[in-house]
A and B are shown apart, each in its own frame.
Chain A
Amino acid sequence: MASAAQAPDAPAIELRGISKSFGPVKANEDIDLRVEPGTIHGIVGENGAGKSTLMSILYGFYQADAGEILIGGKLTPIPDSDAAIRAGIGMVHQHFMLVENFTVLENVVLGAEDGALLRPSLAKARAELTRLARDYELQVDADAVVGDLSVGFQQRVEILKALYRHADILILDEPTGVLTPAEADHLFRILRFLRDQGKTIILITHKLREIMAITDRVSVMRRGRMVATLDTARTSPPELAELMVGRRVLLRVDKGPAKPGDVLMQVRDLKVNDWQGVERLRGVSFDLRGGEILGIAGVAGNGQSELLEVLAGIRPASGGSVRFRGEALALDSVANAEARRALGIAHVPEDRHRRGLVMPFSEWENSCLGYHGEPRYAGPAWTMDRRAIRELAQAGIEKFDIRPPSVDLTTSNFSGGNQQKIVLAREIERDPDVLLVGQPTRGVDIGAIEFIHREIVALRDRGKAILLVSVELDEIQALADRIVVMFDGRISGARAAGETDERELGLLMAGIDPAERAA
């Protein structure tokens, strides 16, 4: 094999028959993969398809049960991350592996020090960072504390870490999830540039648009298996979606024009301070009408979460007003989420694990959470009627196609998409006048996304108002009738869905209003 290692046409990475099980779950089954050097290779698949497991095996986080890894044509066992780094593999994790209170320099040096004393290592890294910044357009202030940097820059630090360790192969796991479209574009420019310098890049994503935009080849995974590897130029998003799910999928949401009705909710000059006294909402105003979906776009952390929580009654506001059907809602007390639900304002929280569900509960217990005071659940005296709850839960399971259809299954054992359906079933089933939805399809498979989107549109068509908060611009564009973009706790722009495009929304997400600029 040693002579093969010198062959110039050897693949950068070759996986042969990789299998990995976690208990009874086969996360990876007999996976073969060839990644050519100097290419950008995409790996797509639904959640739980085994993409991350495969990459973790490649980066030495896990040991494969069977199979071989060849790097540059040479058989390379990778027992730990150290071995992966030595084999020239660098990884940019979805959740950055950075020490937030360290400087950029310290983060880059960590684990790649030259000796027991820090000073020479830091000096060397500083020089090296300057070189990398010049060669790859990766400028970062070496002395900045990482926690103070924007996510885009933190990601850059992760890439620099890999390059500092002389990585020839760079794996990026869902790198654009936290970026603005402009930051994502910049990342793609960097990746193309790195590829042109001869680096090999593996991009894990579930966004088909990104696959089409940047990769040279793409591999599709489904249920732990590698189902296809294609030239990107010769495939299309519908084909990839079908390969991922195993059946035809409608990528566009089928919806008719909105028929906006009366204003149901009137939000005026809403302000929120967090516990440290930092202003998170700085005066937000909008109207929400029945029969329309109002999409709130923006990069995570620009006040959307706080807005949802105030409207849902979880968090007090520090100023402003909210009227529901003309009546002012109390915004000062914290404990009125139940009152909001009673009024007909339902809430599908952004974080279903923390707020939407009690994960160790069984499905039927979660199916009545927050509504357990309702008379139809009541048994004799102060008890609850178990049978009624279970029957209603079973009805919800059938209506929302929750799989497996078991009311007794522990909630954490459902897939992300089915967990979200449990929450949606609970909230939509009450036929609320206003539905507040946060990240309805985060961590949800393509097949389930289709279903959830259809349910939301159906609710709209029954004349209800929907406030949709999502960091996925695609989702906002597909679902919303009107789009409001938030930046830094303010509304940076509002557009009718049909009269804007991704470029304009992207600018608004960065706080720039192109309409004002032109004026």
Chain B
Amino acid sequence: MDLATALAIAESSMRLAAPLLLACLAGLYSERAGIFDIGLEGKMLGAAFGAGAVAAVTGSAWIGLAAGMAVSTVLALIHGLASITFRGNQIISGVAINFLASGLTALIGQNWFGMGGQTPQLFGDQRFLAVELPLAGALRDVPVIGFLYSDFLSGFTVLVYVALLAVPLTWWVLFRTRFGLRLRAVGENPGAVDTAGISVVRLRYQAVIITGLLCGIAGAYLATGMAAGFIRDMTAGKGFIALAALIFAKWRPWPALWACLLFGFLEAIGIRYQGVTIPNVGTVPVQLMQALPYILTVVILAGFVGRAIPPRAGGKPYVKER
């Protein structure tokens, strides 16, 4: 493999990993607070539609992003209402949100644009385009650094950088702030938080809202960064892959980055090497290559990658006890 191919695969991995990473970190906030979120997929899808539709109508990717985040946050609040206030089953609520998003986006899309559930193709400022990092041009000729910085790291859309920056930020919030301490505590033992005089309900809603915002960015990126418009069910299981990555990463921010990059890498390989011929074996079917990330998801969720211990209070509604 030559350097150019490697670079192309690395760049592709990064692009594909970014939405996973955003969704994965989104799930991290919610699940660390004790609210399991199987509805990452639905929130991303809703956000992708919101961003695609609004960007097409207003002509601004940024307004589209805001719309996507709003849609996703509303869906997150529905999940919060069901699982925090009404103490419902978090898995069922999440599944419902996935169905809701899948059905509503197609229905409203068809009603508004009449294009079979798609939104119109986005051009120019309606999309997030590649940005050149500062000094990328000047550093291009410096050996190694120039290659890594100017050729690899520079030239993604702004949302990829947002995803990357969200990793250290999440780590810092989680382990260096009061909010993070309380968030982690409420996912482990909400009783301890409650008896310390802190509102469990408020804390969990805050976490769920952060999840909504981050999922919104992830969805907007799909429709206005990676693709040029919304397509029906365009998340294609990315929310579930993000969930698998979250478990793989054992609910920690830095490992979440590596896990998402691994999934992004597999997806990139799947796209690049379609119909490769392996000597003595024959041509590898396209479907197999494309299935790679999903196979890994199954392997991870089946628990082959060590024991992942979820936050102890996860999935359980908090009821004050006597």
Which residues of A are at the interface with B, using a C-beta cutoff of 8 A?
Answer: 52-53, 56, 59-62, 80-85, 91, 93, 95, 97-102, 106-107, 109-113, 115-119, 121, 161
Contact = CB atoms under 8 A, between A and B. Distances in A.
Contacts of B155: none
16 contacts: A52-B322, A61-B320, A84-B197, A85-B196, A91-B195, A97-B189, A97-B191, A99-B185, A99-B189, A100-B189, A109-B181, A110-B196, A111-B196, A111-B198, A116-B178, A117-B178
B192 A81 contact: no
Contact of A110 (B175, B176, B193): B193
Contact of A98 (B182, B192, B198, B322): B192
8 closest Cβ contacts across the A-B interface? A111-B196, A82-B197, A97-B192, A113-B178, A97-B195, A81-B197, A99-B188, A99-B185
B194 interface: yes
B176 A118 contact: yes
Interface string B285-322: 00000000000000000000000000010000000101
A83 B195 CA distance: 11
A115 B178 CA distance: 7
B184 interface: yes
A430 B2 CA distance: 81
Interface in B161-183: 175-182
Given A53-B322, A81-B197, A111-B197, A118 B178 contact: yes
Contacts of A95: 191
B195 A102 contact: no
Given A97-B189, A98-B192, A106 B181 contact: yes
Given A97-B191, A115-B178, 18 more contacts: A60-B197, A80-B197, A82-B198, A91-B195, A97-B192, A97-B195, A97-B196, A99-B184, A100-B188, A110-B181, A110-B193, A113-B181, A116-B177, A116-B178, A117-B176, A118-B176, A118-B178, A121-B178
Contact of A112 (B185, B189, B196): B196
Main secondary structure of the interface of B (DSSP, over half): helix
Interface of B: 175-182, 184-185, 188-189, 191-198, 312, 320, 322
B177 A118 contact: yes
- B176, B195, B197, B312, most chain A CB atoms within 10 A: B195
Nearest to B189: A99
B178 A102 contact: no
Contacts of B177: 116-118
- Interface hub of A53, A84, A85, A97 (most chain B Cβ within 10 A): A97
A113 B176 CA distance: 12
B188 A102 contact: yes
A223 to B, nearest CB: 16
Contacts of B178: 113, 115-118, 121
A98 B189 CA distance: 7
Contacts of A62: 322
Contacts of A98: 189, 192
Contacts of B175: 118
B47 to A, nearest CB: 29
Contacts of B193: 110-111
Contacts of B197: 60, 80-85, 111
Contacts of A61: 195, 320, 322
A61 B191 CA distance: 11
Given A91-B195, A99-B188, A100-B188, A116 B312 contact: no
Contacts of A83: 197
Contacts of B191: 93, 95, 97
B322 A81 contact: no
Contacts of A93: 191, 195
B68 to A, nearest CB: 29
Contacts of B181: 106, 109-110, 113, 118
A55 B186 CA distance: 23
B183 to A, nearest CB: 11
A114 to B, nearest CB: 9
A224 to B, nearest CB: 13
A175 to B, nearest CB: 15
A111 B180 CA distance: 12
Give the most central of B175, B182, B188, B189: most A CB within 10 Å: B189
A83 B194 CA distance: 12
Contacts of B322: 52-53, 56, 61-62
Contacts of A111: 182, 193, 196-198
Nearest to A98: B192
Nearest to A22: B322
Contacts of A82: 197-198
Contacts of B182: 110-111
Nearest to A102: B185
A41 to B, nearest CB: 21
Nearest to B320: A61
B196 A81 contact: yes
Nearest to B309: A101
A474 B27 CA distance: 50
A32 to B, nearest CB: 21
A101 B188 contact: yes
B169 to A, nearest CB: 14
A98 B318 CA distance: 15
Contacts of B312: 100-101
Nearest to B312: A100
B176, B193, B196 interface centre (most CB from chain A within 10 Å): B196
B194 A110 contact: no
Contacts of A115: 178
Contacts of A110: 181-182, 185, 192-193, 196, 198
A467 B188 CA distance: 37
Contacts of B194: 81, 97
Nearest to A56: B322
